[in-house]
Structure 1
Amino acid sequence: MMEAKHMQKAELLAELALTRKRTRELITSLDEQQLDVPYHPGVNPPLWEMGHAAFFYEVFVFSLLDGDASFDPSMDDLWDSFHIDHQDRWRRDLFPGLKKTLAYFDHVYAKMAGRIERTPLTDRELYLCRYAIYHQNMHIESLVWCRQTVGFAPPPGASFERPAPSELRGSSLGDDAIVPAGDWLIGMPGDSEQYATEDFAFDAEKPRHAVSLDEFAISRCLVSNHEFMAFVEDGGYQKPELWSFGGQKWLRTDINMAPQHPVYWRWQDNQWQEKLFDQWQSLSPDAPVTHVSYWEAEAYCCWAGRRLPTEQEWEVAALGNRKGETFQRYPWGNELPDAVQADMNATGMAQNPVSDYPAGDSPFGCRQMIGSVWEWTSSQFFPYDGFCIDMYPFMSTLQFGDHKVSRGGGCATSFSLIRGTYRQAYLPQRNDVYTGFRTCALPEG
């Protein structure tokens, strides 16, 4: 047991160090002028992201476990997302500059590392420390979204080196994967096991439960740029019969200016181009379509005579878990994902073909179900039966009801967060996130 706890400490310290390094790189690779980003409703300013993440450690580790006072009590309400309006986070007069924010950030991380090294690591301690680290990794992902949204340079470590164009286009690995009817397991262990050291999960992933599904057919690949281009060039955005009431309302909103194509596409020099951070490049036809809203995915499905999977169908196609069998966290088993299996950690940025990453195939032969893009499902974001609020009461509850479920993680998601049970909730109009989708066949008859 002591050896196991020692290994857990070593792994936790390594996760903390990597999280600190990646956050610092994303901040310090921007100059002072870039850090003063203009207001945008979909992202947070980078320095606020850094300070907020440090504050989370103070609240849910140092205060909750040790009763420690915060580093600067006068800043607590400003770093707390529930005490400061979203728009006020851009007020530079309220917040310290880069030097002081980095000093606060480094102080918190040094204190956190020292605490892990010297404090007995109970299951609860391990769980709360992991929670704070994984929360920080969520903000690493949103720092990447911010760079794309405001047109900054790619994050450190990102590469757009593309393979030679493939003869394969879109879902051309073969026919749909057929998932048989049956009873399947969904989710992670429930509240009584919330501090399980091997099965960390957020509250919306719990409790594990069985579902019965009819047979369904799901595409082995994500919808590609080439496939979505056909929808665009067929006038898909101008055909109201393809769009639901919500989709038509989204099309009419001023903020979207009656879109005719995905938000980062343009037609120029007789070709489709895509904006990747601060540069325009020719659109890679074999890469997955990215930065599309739920409404766009839904309209494409209507045009193609397909449908989006439910989130239960998605998880079964990704993991195939059954009662009495070894539970898989990933399509390939229980080994942590690496760069051979998935596009993640803000490196490939969803520019590889949808036919790539065969090492990450699911038991049914579905590809890139982990990484690349968050995949829209048709499901509303609701709690599972038996749901219990976690240590952070607002982790999931604020999104229940009006958000759609996306699954699988994306190219900007950290490897430590990605797993087949992880549920993310986005409003259906969101297109600033790395969202894409795959489709299912319509039921016969």
Structure 2
Amino acid sequence: MDTDAQKQSLLDELELARARTGQLVTSLPADKLNVPYHPGVNPPLWEMGHAAFFYEVFVFNLLDGTPSYDPSMDDLWDSFHVEHQDRWRADLFPGRQKTLEYFHTIYDRVAERIRSRALTDRELYLYRYAIYHQNMHIESLIWCRQTVGYPVPPDYRGDRPAPGEAISGDAQVPAGRWLIGMPGESDAFATDDFAFDAEKPRFEVELPAFAISRTPVSNREFLAFVEDGGYRRPELWSFGGRKWLATEQDVQRVHGAGAPMLRTPEHPLYWRWHNGVWQERVFDRWLPLAMEAPVTHISYWEAEAFCTWAGRRLPTEYEWEVAALGNRPGEPFRRYPWGNEVPDASRADMDARAMARNPVFDYAAGDSPFGCRQMVGSVWEWTCNEFLPYDGFKVDMYPFMSTLQFATHKVTKGGSCATSSNLIRGTYRQAYLPFRSDVYTGFRTCAL
């Protein structure tokens, strides 16, 4: 791609990130911008200010040495200086209008810098880093709305753009030698592909043959586990899972039924049995449970217990990536299950369009080389691996993107219905603590 085209691509992505963030904030009335305190989400105005601050640090401070827009706010927009609970303190932060002014001022300056300066590989890398970081926070803004029961995000259409015919069973993946990850051995600022440090460096792995489900686990399949008393059968749960169940129940007794996100676990987080039918809360509405849609908002411990009940197991992260991409040494490299064409609504449920309400057999155009469906989009899929660095790992420009999660989080793969389509690829590794179920997490299983 030539420099002018790269600049235009950056400007387009920057403007899209600006527009989507702005819509997610300004579409809420002022009294909903400071959401009730919750350990898994941030107030929308803080998310907006933090995104702008990231551009200041990694574009203007790092490249130009220019001072901040408001140095007195630097510690408050910096996630490593302001404690999570303090982000809700209205007395510490500017209001809606001043935050919007700050946000748009920084974006105007970034856009002007892109247009007016020569574009080096280092600058291209840093621009991309900041834009993709913001897209992560766009996903956070979406799951914030789900967590606190706010209206659907502006991009939500609730349609079914890519119906498919029902499929079931396992894909058979042969034994062999496979490629995992993205390049990173020699040039952290390579212009051909962007990848975060935890995806690098690429390496080869030898795997035995395995069988993996062609689709994510559906609500119908998970309901069978629920109705078979899965949450009340301790023999199905590991030590960590039993501890998670007990912790949820203890907090429920202490804080009462109104405690956010916490309940006596008998079913997934946003399900309920109401007037003789199963329902699921989708933002601020209770809707009939979409039986063929992927089960969402599932913790690692719930996924693990389901596997024990079903006589299955979770895939390793290497198995997952091989089933999704099928990259072999010496062959053309695939970024996505279908090849290298960018994701669109015919291939994946992303960009907050359908919010994982469509059947697990939809999006046939996104199938992997082995016939696995919806391995990109819909739900982040749990794997059995701890989030650890690959051999040869080197920290990129932002030292905390991966390192704080090593050894304490689990690896999820594939992106979700809330993930931005310009962010995800098959090599991307997202780290979540195993108890998290407020994010858009689901899973698929492997044969034992």
- TM category (shorter chain) comes to over 0.9
Match of 2:313 in 1: 307
AA matched with 2:265: P
TM norm structure 1: 0.96
User: Displacement of 1:127 after TM fit?
Assistant: 0.4
Conserved in 2, the CA contact under 8 Å of 1:166 and 1:286?
no
| 1:183 maps onto 2:177 in alignment | yes
Match of 2:140 in 1: 142
User: Displacement of 1:210 after TM fit?
Assistant: 0.3
Q: Distance in 1 between matches of 2:87 and 2:163?
A: 43
Q: Distance in 1 between matches of 2:400 and 2:385?
A: 20
User: Displacement of 1:115 after TM fit?
Assistant: 0.2
Alignment deviations for residues 296-321 of structure 1 (CA, whole Å, 9 cap, x no partner): 00000000000000000000000000
Alignment map for 1:394-405 (pairs within 5 Å)? 394-405=400-411
AA matched with 1:37: V
* Pair 1:165–1:372, CA change in 2 (3 A): closer
Alignment deviations for residues 74-122 of structure 1 (CA, whole Å, 9 cap, x no partner): 0000000000100000000000000000000000000000000011001
Q: Among residues 213, 233, 236, which one is paired with 1:219 in the alignment?
A: 213
Alignment deviations for residues 346-368 of structure 1 (CA, whole Å, 9 cap, x no partner): 11100010000000000000000
Q: Among residues 386, 394, 398, which one is paired with 1:388 in the alignment?
A: 394
Count of paired positions: 436
Q: Secondary structure at the match of 1:140?
A: helix
Q: Distance in 2 between matches of 1:132 and 1:157?
A: 22
Q: Secondary structure at the match of 2:278?
A: strand
User: Displacement of 1:370 after TM fit?
Assistant: 0.2
Q: Distance in 1 between matches of 2:219 and 2:285?
A: 18
Alignment map for 1:126-205 (pairs within 5 Å)? 126-161=124-159, 168=166, 173-205=167-199
Match of 1:43 in 2: 41
Q: Secondary structure at the match of 2:2?
A: helix
Match of 2:290 in 1: 284
User: Displacement of 1:199 after TM fit?
Assistant: 1.1
Alignment deviations for residues 345-392 of structure 1 (CA, whole Å, 9 cap, x no partner): 011100010000000000000000000000000000000000000100
Q: Distance in 2 between matches of 1:252 and 1:438?
A: 25
Match of 1:272 in 2: 278
User: Displacement of 1:196 after TM fit?
Assistant: 1.2
| 1:59 maps onto 2:57 in alignment | yes
Conserved in 1, the CA contact under 8 Å of 2:165 and 2:362?
no
Match of 1:91 in 2: 89
User: Displacement of 1:164 after TM fit?
Assistant: 12
| 1:258 maps onto 2:261 in alignment | no
User: Displacement of 1:161 after TM fit?
Assistant: 3.9
| 1:34 maps onto 2:32 in alignment | yes
AA matched with 1:351: R
Q: Secondary structure at the match of 1:392?
A: coil
Q: Distance in 1 between matches of 2:406 and 2:423?
A: 20
User: Displacement of 1:203 after TM fit?
Assistant: 0.2
Q: Secondary structure at the match of 1:211?
A: strand
Conserved in 2, the CA contact under 8 Å of 1:194 and 1:201?
no
Q: Distance in 2 between matches of 1:201 and 1:163?
A: 29
* Pair 1:287–1:260, CA change in 2 (3 A): same
AA matched with 1:419: R
Q: Distance in 1 between matches of 2:340 and 2:192?
A: 10
* Structure 1 segments (4+ residues) deviating >6 Å: 163-167
User: Displacement of 1:162 after TM fit?
Assistant: 5.7
Conserved in 2, the CA contact under 8 Å of 1:232 and 1:261?
yes
Q: Percent identity?
A: 71
Q: Distance in 2 between matches of 1:17 and 1:364?
A: 37
Q: Distance in 1 between matches of 2:310 and 2:93?
A: 49
* Pair 1:174–1:152, CA change in 2 (3 A): closer
Q: Distance in 1 between matches of 2:163 and 2:413?
A: 28
User: Displacement of 1:175 after TM fit?
Assistant: 2.8
* Pair 1:312–1:144, CA change in 2 (3 A): same
AA matched with 2:7: K
User: Displacement of 1:159 after TM fit?
Assistant: 2.4
Q: Among residues 415, 426, 435, which one is paired with 1:420 in the alignment?
A: 426
AA matched with 1:186: I
Match of 1:10 in 2: 8
Q: Among residues 74, 77, 80, which one is paired with 2:78 in the alignment?
A: 80
Q: Distance in 1 between matches of 2:194 and 2:435?
A: 30
Match of 1:230 in 2: 224
Conserved in 2, the CA contact under 8 Å of 1:194 and 1:200?
no
Q: Distance in 1 between matches of 2:190 and 2:307?
A: 40
Conserved in 2, the CA contact under 8 Å of 1:123 and 1:195?
yes
* Pair 1:192–1:378, CA change in 2 (3 A): same
The gaps in structure 1 that reach 5 residues or longer are: none
* Pair 1:166–1:272, CA change in 2 (3 A): farther
Match of 1:111 in 2: 109
Q: Secondary structure at the match of 1:193?
A: coil
Conserved in 1, the CA contact under 8 Å of 2:163 and 2:363?
no
Conserved in 2, the CA contact under 8 Å of 1:165 and 1:286?
no
Q: Distance in 1 between matches of 2:162 and 2:291?
A: 11
Q: CA RMSD in A?
A: 1.4
Q: Distance in 1 between matches of 2:132 and 2:392?
A: 24
Q: Secondary structure at the match of 1:280?
A: strand
The gaps in structure 2 that reach 5 residues or longer are: 252-261
Alignment deviations for residues 182-238 of structure 1 (CA, whole Å, 9 cap, x no partner): 110000001422211121000000000000100000000000000000000000000
Q: Distance in 1 between matches of 2:346 and 2:132?
A: 22
Conserved in 2, the CA contact under 8 Å of 1:47 and 1:101?
yes
Conserved in 1, the CA contact under 8 Å of 2:297 and 2:442?
yes
Q: Secondary structure at the match of 2:186?
A: helix
AA matched with 1:410: S
